[in-house]
Amino acid sequence: MSIGIVTYYNAINEGAFLQAYCLKNFIESCSTSKVYFVPNKSADIFSIQKKQLLQTKNPRLFWVNLNRIIANRKAQKAYLSIGTINKNYDIVVVGSDEMWNEKNKAFNKYNTAASVNAETRISYAVSMGNFDETLSRDSIKEISKFVAISVRDLNSKKILEAAGFTNVSVHLDPVFLYQIPSQLPKIRKSFIMIYGSISNETTVRKIKEYAHRNGFVTLSVDIYNKWCDVNVAAKNPFQFVGYIDKTNLIITNMFHGTMLSVVRNKSFISIQTERRKKKIEYASKKLMFTERCVDEQFDWDIEDVLKNKLDFQIINSVIEQEKCFVREYFARILLNKRE
């Protein structure tokens, strides 16, 4: 059986790589088939992002971005098997990531697998991000060909139901499905890991003051923040996870920064932005970390947020239960295909 995944596998983004890596390995653990990533014939995401990242005239930012590009490309080539152009698939899985966000400039027929040769289409934990409009007729037409639909947030579910889709499952992001290997960085000092572009002056001041009071270095990984003590690019996505494992606290405004903090059982604060609020809402309630989420538009105190303890024993139990549901979801599809 030939299985393909339609996702932003070649984005210059650690979260995009890790969700793709985890979904591939999880599906392969559910079947005897090798899983390939379907090449996007309409848009070269890697080249587009590479050009954007290298346009800066800031030498420090350029260095971080260049190393990030190299690290992601090496990981993609080493760990993600890419299918050939026009390959025929028995099953194609669309997801995860914002594959159905029609506001995304890269959105095209690839995102709904309309340009893919596949007998069966399903989605897994796909998202529409901050999209809040009615789906286009073309998208509705293509999604109606899916035999199973899974999203990762309630906003996506709501939009699909408004379009007439009644059997929409909600699942956790793929990073919760598979144990990611970790490569610990060589850093001796205690540090607060920053992941995401954080520029709000009040937020920056709070973080710097908290770090100073507690003897922490502020260390921004992969996304440059000039106010941080140190800016680094992880050597690969697994070292990126290693930074999360080694940090004393992670402060992030990124979706996967939040999800990886939870799955690695690390203390964190998730800064909610208008762009990402809708993506995080479902997981924050399901995994009971809503009190670790703060709105960047309102006043909040780091010490007060950290007083809200995370019960990782319960959280991990919910994750294991969800993994069982996901395994059943894929098992049904694979079994029906064999029949």
Least Cα distance to 127 among 178, 79, 174, 166 occurs for 174
- Give me 309's structure tokens: 């303890």
Q: What is the pLDDT of residues 239-255, one digit of tens each?
A: 999 999 999 999 999 99
The residue assigned the tokens 């199973």 is: 148
Q: Contact 208/200 with Cβ under 8 angstroms?
A: no
Predicted confidence (pLDDT) per residue in 116-135, tens digit: 999 999 999 999 999 999 99
Token pair for 191: 């540090």
Beta strands in the chain (DSSP E): 3-6, 35-37, 88-94, 117-123, 149-151, 168-170, 191-195, 217-221, 230-232, 249-252, 268-272, 293-295
> Average pLDDT for residues 307-330, to the nearest whole number?
97
Q: Please count the helices (runs of H) and the strands (runs of E) in the chain.
A: 11, 12
Look at residue 116 in the predicted model and tell me its pLDDT. 94
110 or 43: which leads in pLDDT: 110
In this structure, are strands 191-195 and 249-252 parallel, antiparallel, or unpaired? parallel
Q: Name the pLDDT band for 290 (thresholds 50, 70, 90).
A: very high
- 65: which 2 tokens? 């971005």
Q: By the 8 A CB rule, do 149 and 123 touch?
A: yes
Q: What is the pLDDT of residue 338?
A: 61
Among positive and negative, which fits the CA dihedral 210, 216, 218, 221? negative
* Nearest residue to 251 (alpha-carbon basis) of 190, 188, 291, 203: 203
Radius of gyration of the chain (CA): 20
Residue 339 has pLDDT above 50, yes or no: no
Instruction: Please write the tens of the pLDDT for every residue from 76-120.
Output: 999 999 998 888 999 999 999 999 999 998 899 999 999 999 999
Tokens matching residue 223: 């996304």
Question: What would the mean pLDDT of 39-46 be, rounded to a whole number?
Answer: 86
Residue 113: which of 268, 266, 4 has the closest Cα? Answer: 4
What's residue 334's pLDDT?
A: 86
User: Residue 335: its pLDDT value, please?
Assistant: 76
The secondary structure element, H or E, covering residue 283 is helix 277-286
Q: Are 84 and 116 in contact (CB under 8 A)?
A: no
Q: Looking at residues 286-310, what average pLDDT do you find?
A: 95
Quote the pLDDT of residue 86: 82
Q: What would the pLDDT profile of 202-241 be if each residue is shown by its tens digit? A: 999 999 999 999 999 999 999 999 999 999 999 999 999 9
What's the mean pLDDT in 5-21? 96
Domain definitions of the chain by residue range: 3-177+320-338, 191-308
Residue 44 has pLDDT above 90, yes or no: no
**Mean pLDDT of all residues belonging to the chain:** 95
Query: CATH for 191-308, among 3.40.50.10190, 3.40.50.2000, 3.30.2230.10, 2.60.40.420?
Result: 3.40.50.2000
- The amino acid occupying position 118 is A
Q: Which of 222, 203, 318 is nearest to 272 (CA)?
A: 203
